[in-house]
Structure 1
Amino acid sequence: MQISVDSKRILEKVNGIDGRLERIETIGKCERVCSGNGLVGCCVVPKVRGFVVGFEEAVREVKMLVVSGGEQVVVVSAPGGCGKTTLAKMVCHDADVIGMFKDNIFFVTASKAPNFKVIIERLFEHRGFRVPEFQTDEDAIYQLESMLKWTGPNPVLLVLDDVWSGLESLIEKLTMQIPEIKILVTSRIVFPRFKSTYKLKLLSDKDAMALFHHSAFPQDGSSSIPDDLVDKIVRGCGGFPLALEVVGRSLRGKPIEIWKRTLKQWSEGKSFFSSESNNEILIRLQTSLSSLEEMYKECYLDLASFPEDQRIPATALIDMWVELYNLDEDGVDAIAILHELSMRCLVDQVVTRKDASEISGHYNEHFVTQHDLLRELAIHQSRQELIEKRKRLIMEIDGNDFPRWWIEQRQHSVCARLMSISTDESFSSSWHEMKLPNVEVLVLNIQARKYTLPQFLEKMDRLKVLIITNYGFSSFEIQGIPVLGYLSSLKRIRFEHVLISSISDSILKLRNLRKISFIMCEIGEAFRKCTIRILDMLPNLSDIVIDYCNDLVEFPACLCEIRSLEELSITNCHELVTIAEDFGKLESLKKLRLHACTKLLELPESIGSLKKLVFLDISDCISMSKLPVQMGDLCGLRKIHMRGCRGLSELPPSVKGLQQLKDVTCDEETAYLWQHYENYPNDLEICVHKEDVNLDWLHDI
C-alpha cells in the first residue's frame, strides 16, 4: 500500500513537470538546443575548482571596478596561466556582485576566433528564448537589447573570458546600445581603448609555495626533498599558478634525482615562443612532459586536434586511440590515460553523470577540457620536426587562408598519422590538393554553415577514423559524402551536430566499417526515407551509437538487417517512441543501451530472439509501462540496468527463466519489482543505486 501511494505521488509530480514544460513550449521558449559542445547557451558562472590561494586582494579590487558606476568595460589582463579565469569566477560568485546583478550574470568563453553572433545566441538560449536568425552582429546586439528589456530591470554583467584581438569594436557597440550592461573581459592582451584595466599579478613567494606544496605534497605537506631544492623549483615556476600545479603534480612522489634533473632541464631551456611572458612558463611545463610515459605523452599531444575552449568527448578519443595505439575497444585503457593526465593537471575531466561508467559501462558522459596554454604546448611539441616528418598535423584555417606549404605542396607527401583541420564560419570549402597517404585519423572541426568534404579524402587509403564535428549553433548538411565510398580502410566514423538527409550508398559500401556514431545529429528523416536493403552490406559493422538525436521517433527497420551488429546504444533520444518489430533479427547483438529514451513506450516482443544479448540498459525510460512477455527467452542475459523506470508496475512472469541473470541495477522505486525473484537459485544480485547526477558540467561548455 505504501509503495502504491508513493508511486501515485511520483506520477503526480512527473505529470506536473510535463505540464509546465508544455506551457513553456507554448509561449515560445526552447526546451534545449544541442550543438557540438553540449547544451548551447548555458552561460552559468562556472564553479571555482581546486586549491586557490593569493587572490583575495585581486577579487576585492576587480569587484570594486565591476560594481562601481565607472567604466562599462573592465579588463583583467595577464599572461596565460596566471589565473585570469579563476579570478573572474571568484568575482562573479562574490555576494556583493550577486546582490547587484542577481541572475543577470552571464559567463561566455570567447576564444581566439570568436563568433559574436554565437555569443549572443548563447545568451538567448541561456534565458530560454528561441534564438532568432541574426543577419549581422549589429542586428544581434539590437535583439539582445530587446530581450534584456523584456526580462527585467536588473543590470547585466557579461563575462567574456579569454578574449583575443578583434572583439573590441563589437564590445564598444554593445555598451553603447545597452548602457545598463557591464562587461568583464579576461585577456592576455591589454586593450588601450578600454581604460579600466586590472593587471593580474603573479603569486607572491608565500602563496606560490603554498600552492606548490598542495600539488606536490598533498597529504601533510612534509617531504624528504630538501627545502632549498623545493625553493628553487618554486622560484623557477615564476609565480604562475598553472606552472606550480602542473610541475608540482609531475614531481609528486618522485625521488630527489628527478627533482634535480628538472632543474637542470630548466637551466638548458631555450626560448621557442615569441611571447616572452609565455616563454618562461612553457619551458617549465615542457619539462613536466619528460616524466610522462611515451604512450601518455602521445595521447596528450593528440588532444590538440580539437579546438581550444571546447569539451573533448572521451568517446572520440577512444575511437582515435583504439586505432592509433591498439588500445582495448571497451575504453578502459583510454579512460585510465585521461585519469593519469588529469592527475598531472594536464587536462580537467568532466563527467556529466558521476556513476555513468558504472551504470552503463559506456563513456558518452565523459569529457575533458584543457587550458589554452597546455594546448599551445602540445601544438608546439608537434611542430618540432619538418612538416613532411611530423606525426600529427594540426591545421587552423582562418577564412580561406591556407598555409603556404600546403598550397605549394607538389612532389612531397607528409607522413603524419593524425591530421586535424579546423575552419571558421567564413571558410568556402575551396580545398587545395593534399597528399596524405599515411593519415589514419582525420579530425574535421567545422563552423561554417555550408561545408563540402575535401576531394583528397578519396586518396587516403590508410584512413581508419573520421571525426566530423560542427561547433556552430545550427546543424547543417555536409556535402560531398559520396567521397567516403573510396575509404576502403575506414573503421570508425563519428558525426556530431550535423544533418544527415539520406543514407548514402557510399557509407553502405564501407566493408571494413566497424563503428558509426551519430551525436546530436538530425537523422530521423534519413532513416524514414531509407529504402536500401542493408542486408549483406556493412558486413563488419559491430557498433552503432545514437546519442541526443531528438528527431528520431522510431528505430528504423532497415538497421535491423545488420546481422553483424554486437553493440547498439540509443541514448538521450527523447522523441524515440517505438522500436521496429524486426529488431529480433539482430541475432549477434550482445549489448543494448536505451538509456534516457524518455518517450519509449515498450520493447518489441521480438527481443526474445536475441539469444546472445548479455547486457540491457533501459534506465530512465520513464514512459515504459511494461516489459515484453518474451523477456524470459533472453537466455544469455546477465545484466539489466533499469534505474528510473518509474512507469513499470510489474515484471512479466517469464523473467523467472533468465537463468544467466546475475546483476540487476535499479533504484529504490523499482527494486521492489524484483523482490519475488531475488531468492531464485541463479544468485541474482539486486543493486540499488541512489541518483548521482553531476550538474557542474553545465559550467564547462
Structure 2
Amino acid sequence: MTPNQSQSWITTWLVEKFPQSRVLSVSYDTSITENTAKDGSIDLPAVAVSLATFLIEGESVGDTQCPIVLIGHSLGGLVVKEICSHAERLSRTYSESPRVVPIKKFLNSVKGTFFYATPNGGSLQRELAAILSSTEPFLTPKYLESLNEDTGRINEDFAKLRRKYGWKTYGVGEADETVISGVQGTSSVVLVDEGEASLDMDMFSKILGTNHLSICQPQERTSESFRCLVDFVMHIVNDQEDAESEDFLLHCGLPEHGVSLEGRVERVMEQLQLREAHPVLVALVGMGGIGKTTLARAVFIEIHASFEYSSFIYNAREALRLRDLDALIRENLYKGEKKDVRTSSNQSVSVWKTLKGKKVLLVMDDVDAREQISIVLSMIDSNWFGKGTRVIATSRVRNEDVLPDFINYDVRGLTQEESRMLFCSHAENPEVPDELVNKVVAQCGGLPLTLEIVGAYLRRETNVAVWEETINRLQRAESASGSVDDRLWNKLKLCYESLENMEQEMFLDLATIFYDHHDLELLKAAWKRSMKAPEVGLKNLVDRCLIRIVHQATKNDIDCGLILQRERVWMHAQLRDMGQVIAAHSRPRILVSTSLGQEDPALNNLITTNAKGEPMIKGLKVSYVENRRCRELRTNIPASCFYLPDLRYLVLENVDISGFIVKFSSSLALLSLHHCRRVLHSSSMSWHNWPIRDTDLASLANLAALEICTDPKIDRPGSPGSISSSSKSTLPTGFHKLAQLRVLLLRSSAVKELPPKFGCLPRLEYLDLRTRELAALPESFGQLTTLERLCLQCRALQKLPATFGELASLRVLELHSLTVDELPDNFGRLQNLRKLDIYSCQKLFSLPDSIGELTGLESMVLSSCNQLTLPESFGQLQGLKDLEIRYCERLKELPGCFGQLHALHTLKLLHFYELAKLPSSFGQLSSLQDLEMTQCLGLRKLPDSFGELRSLRKFKIVECYDLSALPASFGQLLTLQSLTIHRCQLRTLPESFGRLKSLQTLKLEKLPSLRSLPETFGHLWAMKTLTIHQCENLPCLPVSFGHLRGLQRLEMELQSRTFTKLPDSFGRLPALQTLKILSCHLQALPETFGGLSMLEKMRISLSKGVKALPDIPDSFEQLEALQDLVVEVPPKAVAMDVLSGWLEKLEDMGWICTRGSEEGVYAFAKVSRHTPSVFDFAHYMHKRRGVECVCAAPSKHSGRQSRERAEFGL
C-alpha cells in the first residue's frame, strides 16, 4: 500500500518477479482528506473503513485464500495496521453473519506485512509535517499530534493480531538524514530512527544511501530496498510451499505392506458415512502389528482434503504423556489439503477456537484410555465442531468404557494369499517346499509386522531344519501364557535373538533412549566408542525389518529455516515396546524418565539403586521435568547420587537442569542437551557455567558425540532467560582436549566465537554449527583434517578462513544464510568434496574459479543466492551427477561450457526470472536422464541441440510462460519415458513428436494456447498413461488416437466447448483400463466405444451449462470388463425427463444406479439384465419433485441408522 500512485514500480517490478501474483497499489490521501475534520485532526478508523471495504468487498482480496503481503510506507504502515484491526473488529461484529466469511478469508490469508520507515513506536517527528506538507496538505502539526495519540493503540492492536494469526513482519529503515526546508530555515534529520522502524519486527534492514523520501522509491531493480521486499515475499512463498509438503509421519514413517489396502479403506469409509451431517466416530480395533495405523493413515490421505481442518496424532498413547492434545493437534493440523502453518506457528490462540463450527477430521492413533480422548467426546456432545465431523481412533483394546459411542471396525489380519505374498517378498522366494512356507505363514496369524519380521529372518534360508525349528518356535509362542502383546513379542524375539550381541545392543539403544528419531550420525559416533563397524550392524537391523532409515528434517531444522534432510531411525511401536521390556531386565541398564513434574518412580528408583551401588546404568534420558521437581531433586539428593561411573549416554530434553549436579563419567560417549533452560539461558550466568566446563574436560576424554541445542524462539536477545549479549559466549578454552569427539552438533544463537584452538580436535568428523552471532571462524579451522561433513548456518559469518581449503577429508559441505561475498580462492583444494549445498547466501556474487578443480564433486544445490553467477570453469566439474539451481535471480545465463558436464544425471532449474536461453552446448549433456525446469520466466525456446540429449528419460517443464514451441529435434529423444508440460504457451507439438518411441507417461496441463495435436501422436505406441487437463482451446483428438495400443489410463479435463466428440478410432484402444473424461461438452460417444474390451473404470462429468447428456451407443453394452461407472451431472443442468430416460437406457443395458446425490453424482454397477433399481435413484428423483420421503434417521453418535422401508416409483 503506497500513499500515491507514483510507486508504480510495485505494480510492475513485483509482477515481473512473481508473475502469478496480483498487485494492488491503493491511494489513501483522498480518503484521509475526506475524513479530516475542519480543525486538522483525523479519524484514522474512518480511513481504514474506506480502504478495508475497497480491498475486501470491492477487490475481493483474500477470496482465493492465496498468501497476502501488505506493504506500507511511513504513515501508510500505520494505515496498513489499522486496516487489519478494523477487519478484526468487523469479524467479531459479524461473527454469526455470512458477511464474516470474506473478512475471515482476508485475515487468514495475510501472511506478512512489510514496512518502509514506519514509526512503529508512536513518536512521530514534527519535522515530518514540514517535509511532506507541500505534497500532503493534511499533514499539519495538529494532525500529527492527533495521530500520535492513536499510534500507541494502533501498534498495540496490531501486535495482538500478528501474534494471533502468526503474521511475519519486515521493517526497513532509512540511514541518511532528510533535508527539511521550513519557515525557520533548513535542517537535516533522520525522521524515523532505527529504533522506531525496527520495533516488533521479525526482520529488519537499514538501507544505506536512503532518506525518508527515497527509501521506498528505488531507482532500479537491483536497489537494496526492492531486494529486501523481494526476499521477504520469497520467504513467505517458501514458507507456504514448505507448509504444503506432506507430513513425515503420514508418508514416510510407516512400513509399506506391499498389499493393496483399497478394499479395507473403502470399508472404513462406509463406516464413516461421509455423506451424513451428524458426527461419526469410528474405532479401528485390533491387536498390535495388525496394520491399524497403516489403515488409518491410508484413510486419512484419502479423505482429509475434503475437511476444513484435519489432524493425525501419531502414537497418541505416548505423545499425550508429554504434551497436551491441543498442542499435538496444532502441530499436525491441515487446512483442507495443505498443512496449516499459520495455526501451527501461532500458540497464542487456542486451537479449539480455530476448530469451532468447522468440519473436522481427527485421527488419534493408539488410544488405550478414555481420558486421552475425553475432551474430544465432550466437544462432540456439545456440538462444538461443525457438521460432517469425523473422529477415527486406533486401539488395541475393544472396550466401550475406553471408546464410548464409537463404531468398532475390527481390523482383520491378511488373508492366506495376501500373507504369503507379503512373507515371500521378504523371504525372497525361498527354495523350500511350499508346505513349509504355508505353515510359517499360518503361524504368523495374518499380522503384517510378524510376516515381515519372520520373512526377513528366513531370507534366503535353504536349511529345512531351520524352517521346522522356526515353525516350532512360533507355535510355542502362540500357545504360551500371557497377554496378546506378550505372545506377539515372543514371535518377534525370534529375529531379535538371532542377532549378534552388538546388534542386540544397538536395537535396545534405539528402542529406549534413541527411539524418537535422533540424528543417526550422533548415534554412530557413540557406538564407535565401544563397537566395531556399527554401520554393518545397522544394515543388518534394516535387512531384518527391525528398523527403517528415513530422511527427515528435524523440528529444530525447521525452526532454524533449514530444509535439509537428516538420516534418522524409525521403529514400529510394537518393536519399540518389546525392546523396552527386554532392556528393563538387561544389564547394564538404560533408564528413560518422561515426567511432567510429578513424582517419578523411575528417578526415585535410580536414586535408591545407585545409592546401593547396583546395578550399572548405561543410559539415562530425562525429558520434560518442571522447575519444581528439579528444585526438589537439588534439595533432597546429594551430588554423589548422580555420579554414574558406567554411564555411556546422557540425554536431557526440555529439562531445567539447574537442580542436577552431575559429575561426568569417563565412560560417557554421548551427551545430548535439548532446550535445557537455566543452564543455557540464565541471564545472570556467565558462559563458564555451561554444563561443560574446563574442569570437566578431563573426565570427558572419551566423549564421542556432543549435541547442544537451544530453542530459537527463546534464545533471542532480550527474551526472558536469554544469555546477556555482554557475556562472553564461547566454548571452554580447552575444548580441543576432547580428543575422541567425532560429532558436534552446536545449535545455539548465543555462540559468538569459537576457541582459538578449535581446529585441534583430532577426530572430529561431523560439525553442525548454527548460530546468529558467530562472526568468524578461527584460523585453526583448517586443521580439522578428519572433518568429513560440515554444516554452517551462521548469519553473521562474513568470511571463511584462508585455511578453509585445507579441510582435506571434507565430503559434505552445507552453507546456509552466511553473509560471505566470496569463497576462498583455495576452495578447489577440497578434493574429497562430494556434495555441496549453498542456501540463502544473499551476498555471494560468484563461485571461485577454482571450483572447476573439484573433479570429485557429485552433487550440488544452489538456492536463493540472488547475486550468484557461475564461472566458466564450472564446466570442468567432470564428476557432477546431480545439480539443482533455484531462486538465483541474477543468473541470466548458464556458462557456455555447461554442456561439458558429461556425467550430469539430474538437473533442476527452478525459479529463474531472467534466464532467456540455454547454451547451445546443452545437447552435449550425454548422461542427463532427469530434467526439470520450473518458472524459467524469460525462456522463449529450447536450443536446437535439445534433441541430442540421448539419455534423457524424464522431462518436466512447468510455468515457463513464454515458451511457445518445442524444437523440431524434440522427437529425437528416443529414451524419453515421462514428459510433463504445465502452463506454457505451446500452440502445438512438433510433427516429430510421434517418434518418442519410449514415451510411457505424458501430462499436458493448463496449456491455453494448445490448438492441436499432431497426427503422428498415434505413433506413441509405448504410451501407458495420458493426462490432458485444462487445454480449453484443444478442439479434438487426432484421428490416429486409436493407434495408442499400449494406453492403459486416460484422463481428460476438456472444458473446450468445441470438443464435442471423440474420434471414431477411440474404440480401438485395446489396453485401456481406466477412463476419466471431466468437464466435457461431449454430445455422443462413438459407435466404436464398445470395442474397449479392457475398460474397467470409467468416470464422465459434464461441464456447467451443458443441457444434454452424451448419446450412448448400442455398443456400450459390450463393455463386459467395466465394473465401475460414475457419471457427474451439474445439479439442475439437465431436465429430469432427459436424465431419467438416459438412466433407463443404461438400466436396459444391465446397469443400475447404486448411488445418487444432491450434487448430481451417480454411481452404477453392472448386474444381470433388467434388475430393477430400488432405492437411491428413485429416492433422489422424488426429492427433486417435492415428494416427502422417510429414510435414514441417524442416532446421536454411533452413526447407526434405523431405516423405514419406503415404496418408490416413477
- Which bracket does the TM-score occupy, shorter chain normalised? 0.7 to 0.9
Q: Give 2:707's aligned amino acid.
A: S
1:148-187 aligned at under 5 Å gives the runs 148-149=355-356, 155-165=359-369, 166-177=371-382, 178-180=384-386, 181-187=389-395
Residue aligned with 1:206, SS: helix
1:588 lines up with 2:769 in the alignment: no
- The alpha-carbon distance between structure 1 residues 662 and 285, as it changes in their structure 2 partners (threshold 3 A), is closer
For the residue of structure 2 that corresponds to 1:639, the secondary structure is: coil
* Residues 120-175 of structure 1: CA deviation (Å, up to 9, x unaligned): 124334422366668xxxxx9xx2232135xxx75110111111213142232232
CA shift at 1:393, angstroms? Answer: 3.2
Partner of 1:413: 613
Q: How does 1:581-620 map to 2 (within 5 A)?
A: 583-586=778-781, 588-590=783-785, 591=787, 595=791, 597=793, 599=795, 602-604=798-800, 606-608=801-803, 611=806, 614-615=809-810, 618-619=813-814
Please state whether the residue corresponding to 1:400 is helix, strand or coil.
coil
Alignment-derived partner of residue 631 in structure 1? 825
Q: CA deviation at 1:285?
A: 0.9
Q: State the alpha-carbon separation in 2 of the partners of residues 561 and 204 from structure 1.
A: 64
The equivalent of 1:212 in structure 2 is 423
How far apart, CA to CA, are the structure 1 residues paired with 2:426 and 2:580?
Answer: 25
CA distance in structure 2 between the partners assigned to 1:668 and 1:568 by the alignment = 24
Q: Which of 392, 403, 419 is the matching residue for 2:589?
A: 392
Deviations 1:275-316 (A, max 9, x none): 2x22332221111223322322221122222376x3243134
Q: Counterpart in 2 of 1:81?
A: 289
Cα offsets for 1:28-81 (capped at 9, x unmatched): 42789xxxxx99x98677137523437444322321232244554321111111
Distance 1:583 1:18 in 2: 43
Question: Per the alignment, do residues 661 and 280 of structure 1 end up closer, same or farther by CA in structure 2, a change over 3 Å counting?
Answer: same
Alignment pair present for 1:371 and 2:544: no
Q: Deviations over 1:557-589 (max 9, x none)?
A: 24344352354866584x647532x62143632
Corresponding residue SS for 1:597: strand
**What secondary structure, in the 3-state scheme, does the structure 1 residue paired with 2:569 have?**
strand
Identity of aligned residues (%): 18
Structure 1 match to 2:758: 562
Q: 1:479-490 alignment to 2 at 5 Å?
A: 479-480=658-659, 483-490=661-668
Tell me: CA distance 1:568–1:314, structure 2 relative to 1, closer, same or farther (3 Å).
Answer: closer
Q: Give the letter for the 2:552 counterpart.
A: T
- Distance, in Å, in 2 between the alignment partners of 1:14 and 1:568 is 45
How far off its partner does 1:351 sit?
A: 1.2
Distance 1:487 1:21 in 2: 56
Partners of 2:434 and 2:820 in 1: CA distance: 66
Q: 1:267 to 1:324 in 2, by over 3 A?
A: same
Q: Deviations over 1:166-223 (max 9, x none)?
A: 3142232232352324221111122414232212122222322222222222xxx4x4
Determine the structure 1 residue equivalent to 2:544: 344
Cα deviations by residue, 1:329-364 (Å, 9 ceiling, x for unpaired):
xxxx4344333212221112211389xxxxxxxx98
The one-letter code matched in structure 1 to 2:821 is K
On the 8 A contact 2:630/2:656 being kept in 1, the answer is no
Task: Classify the secondary structure of the residue corresponding to 1:498.
Answer: coil
Structure 1 residue 621 corresponds to structure 2 residue 816: yes
Change (3 A) 1:205 1:229: same
Secondary structure of 2:417's aligned partner: helix
- Structure 1 pair 526–685 and aligned structure 2 pair: CA distance change class (3 A): farther
Contact 1:347 1:371 in 2 (8 A): yes
- Aligned counterparts of 1:665 and 1:384: Cα–Cα separation in 2: 46
Considering only CA atoms, is the larger Rg found in Structure 1 or Structure 2?
Answer: 2
1-side partners of 2:627 and 2:481: how far apart? 28
Shift in CA distance, 235/543, structure 1 to aligned 2, threshold 3 Å: closer
| Structure 1 spans left out of the alignment, 5+ residues | 1-7, 33-37, 135-139, 328-332, 355-362, 434-449, 471-475, 694-701
Distance 1:80 1:543 in 2: 39
Letter in 2 for 1:507: I
Query: Which residue does the alignment assign to 1:24?
Result: 111
Shift of 1:225: 0.9
2:173 is matched with none
Give 1:114's aligned residue.
Answer: 320
Counterpart CA distance in 1 for 2:829 and 2:67 is: 38
Cα offsets for 1:410-447 (capped at 9, x unmatched):
874334352344556679546999xxxxxxxxxxxxxx
Report the equivalent of 2:492: 285
Q: Aligned partners of 1:506 and 1:614: how far apart in 2?
A: 30
Taking a change above 3 Å as real, the CA distance of residues 674 and 622 of structure 1, as seen in their structure-2 partners, is farther
Stretches of structure 2 lacking an aligned partner (at least 5 in a row): 1-12, 22-65, 72-109, 114-161, 169-234, 236-241, 334-339, 555-563, 682-686, 717-721, 885-905, 908-1210
Whether the 8 Å contact between 1:392 and 1:416 is mirrored in structure 2 is yes
Q: Distance in 1 between matches of 2:541 and 2:15?
A: 42
AA in 2 matched with 1:559: P
The one-letter amino acid of 1:516's match is L
In structure 2, what is the equivalent of residue 666 of structure 1? 860
Q: Which amino acid aligns with 1:24?
A: K
| AA matched with 2:540 | E
CA pair 188-636 structure 1, distance change in 2 beyond 3 A? closer
Counterpart residue identity of residue 418, structure 1: K
**Residue equivalent to 2:271:** 65
1:278–1:489 Cα change, 3 Å: closer
Q: 1:370 to 1:200 in 2, by over 3 A?
A: same
* Residues 685-700 of structure 1: pairs in structure 2 closer than 5 A: 685-691=878-884
Structure with larger RCO (C-alpha < 8 A, sep 6+):
1
Alignment partner, residue 504 of structure 1: 689
- Rounded to whole Å, the distance in 1 between the matches of 2:649 and 2:482 is 35
- 1:202 corresponds to 2:413: yes
Aligned equivalents of 1:83, 1:297: Cα separation in 2: 25
Give the match's secondary structure for 2:760.
coil
CA distance in 2, matches of 1:497, 1:273: 44
CA distance 1:559–1:129, shift in 2 (3 Å): farther
Alpha carbons of structure 1 residues 19 and 214: separation in structure 2 relative to 1, 3 Å: same
